[in-house]
Amino acid sequence: MQYDLVVIGSGPGGYVGAIRASQLGLNVAVVEKSELGGICLNWGCIPTKSLLKSASVFEYLKEAESYGVKIEGETKADFEAMVQRSRGVADGMSKGIQFLLKKNKIEVINGFGKLIDNKTVEVKKEDGTSETVSAKHILLATGARSKELPNLPQDGVKVIGYRKALTLEKQPKSMIVVGSGAIGSEFAYFYNAIGTKVTLVEYLPNIVPLEDEEVSKQLGRSFKKAGIKVMTSSEVLSVDTTGDAVKAIIKSKKGEETYEADVVLSAVGITPNIEGVGLEEVGVEMENGKIKVDEFYRTSVDGIYAIGDIVPGQALAHVASAEAITCVEKIAGHTPEPINYGNIPGCTYTSPEVASVGMTEVAAKEAGYELKIGKFPFTASGKASAAGHKDGFVKLIFDAKYGELLGAHLIGANVTEMIAELVVAKKLETTGHELIKAIHPHPTMSEAIMEAAAAAYDEVIHI
């Protein structure tokens, strides 16, 4: 059958692009080798948030008396039940994607898709057979997988990646997490919260190193307070898995030391899934290990497009979705606005949560801006005090000359739900004074945004 568009991959880029293309009148098929919804839905964003919610509930129960609630008997974390719940949530969401694709009359072709030319995809089935599919346009949305380092080979038992961390048969008593980006920090928080002894190792001077330095240091303090051993400016040189425990040689400012743990989780980044999809055969141009595309995700080969983790840009689910929509709207003859990669929110679902958008303070200074910076601590927030979550703050960075919001950096309870306001503010070129005069409801955590803006202009009331 001849399709207008064939999408290879059904993650948050692939399935969203397929549905938007169908809405625009294109005849669409999706090729998927595994579960619908891709890594994010099945093995990333969604099941991890389920585990993190379980950890949050467990922590609430442990602290119940501080809220005036008495619980008789011992409170225990049922690790197997937590994992089972997370798998159930992911399975339910995957079935939801199946429903959406069917509703939008999109054909799902199971198998591994490979480019034959710019109009043809070969789909290899699990049973060894294959079929070819023709299309006017082909969108690559194949995603990424856990990155492996030569000195940290994953055996899936004692040295694991994020997929295995979601489905361990039993809770480890101790764990070394290597890498403190969103994935590493979230797993460090989860396992520590349910009673695993966690050591978090970060090569750079601060954890969550892409965040503003003040946020990174605050999360480091919160982690240490929670009992996580945080090792920055450190690296794992090697691991020995021959014994009952894993022995990791870690180099820090103190020198080389040996640490033991039941499991080592490698969370050092991701690798694009670009092998075997026919890129070299059809002549798709690469750049720094990713597919080179223009602002509408056209590759160097006419009729072939790429989005998500396999192209330059932030490797985030919502970025892949936005790129897919932009791409297919262009294919359908619309005039979409290119994505502004300077206004992409990032979230880390630890406790406290981290959320940010735009420039860090260091980046803004390096760009030559004269700055006005406002901070408002949640210790001064009535809602945060009532909720018992006073850790963290809101930090806003403005251009002193025009009042433009350059960056927003939040750490605290539920800040991942607050960041969208600041994304919209940046999109609409809102000034600091406009944020101050936008009345925020009381008592809410979001008041801290108004107060931080006011602090930048010496108008803050509550600190």
Q: Which of 318, 334, 442, 462 is catalytic?
A: 442
CA distance 461 to 451: 7
The predicted-structure confidence for 87-105, as pLDDT tens digits, reads as follows 999 999 999 999 999 999 9
The correct answer on CATH 3.20.20.10 for the domain covering 2-145+271-341 is no
Could you write out the DSSP letters of every residue in 61-101?
HHTGGGGT----S-----HHHHHHHHHHHHHHHHHHHHHHH
Strands (DSSP E) found in 300-417: 304-306, 346-348, 353-358, 371-377, 393-399, 405-412
Q: What is the CATH number of domain 159-268?
A: 3.50.50.60
Q: Which CATH class is domain 352-456?
A: alpha beta
Tell me if 152 sits within 8 A of 242, measured CB to CB.
Answer: no
- 159-268 and 2-145+271-341 share a CATH fold: yes
49 in a labelled binding site:
yes
Of 79, 352, 349, 87, the residue nearest 194 (C-alpha): 79
The residue ranges of the chain whose pLDDT is under 50 are none
CA dist 351 and 192 (Å) reads 11
pLDDT recorded at residue 347? 97
Does residue 269 have a known ligand-binding role?
A: yes
**Predicted TM-score (pTM) of this structure:** 0.94
Does the active-site annotation cover 389? Answer: no
Query: What crossing angle do the helices spanning 14-23 and 317-331 adopt, rounded to 10°?
Result: 30
Q: Is residue 291 a contact partner of residue 284, using CB atoms and an 8 Å limit?
A: yes
- Phi, psi of 418, deg, nearest 5: -95, -20
Report whether 183 belongs to an annotated binding site.
yes
* 180 known member of a binding site: yes
pLDDT (0 to 100) of residue 38: 83
Return the H-helix or E-strand segment holding 6.
strand 2-8
Is 202 annotated as a binding-site member?
A: yes
Q: What is the pLDDT of residues 218-258, one digit of tens each?
A: 999 999 999 999 999 999 999 999 999 999 999 999 999 99
Which two structure tokens, joined as six digits, stand for 217? 């240091």
- Annotated domain spans of the chain: 2-145+271-341, 159-268, 352-456
17 in a known ligand binding site: no
Helix (H, G, I), strand (E, B) or coil at 455: helix
Contact 306, 297 (CB under 8 A): yes
Q: What is the layout of strands, in order, in the sheet containing 174-178? A: 159-160, 263-266, 174-178, 197-201, 229-231
Return the amino acid letter for 320: A
Kindly give the pairing relationship between strand 263-266 and strand 270-272: unpaired
Distance CA 180, CA 309 (A): 19
Cα–Cα distance between 33 and 7 in angstroms, integer? 12
Residue 11 among known ligand-binding residues = no
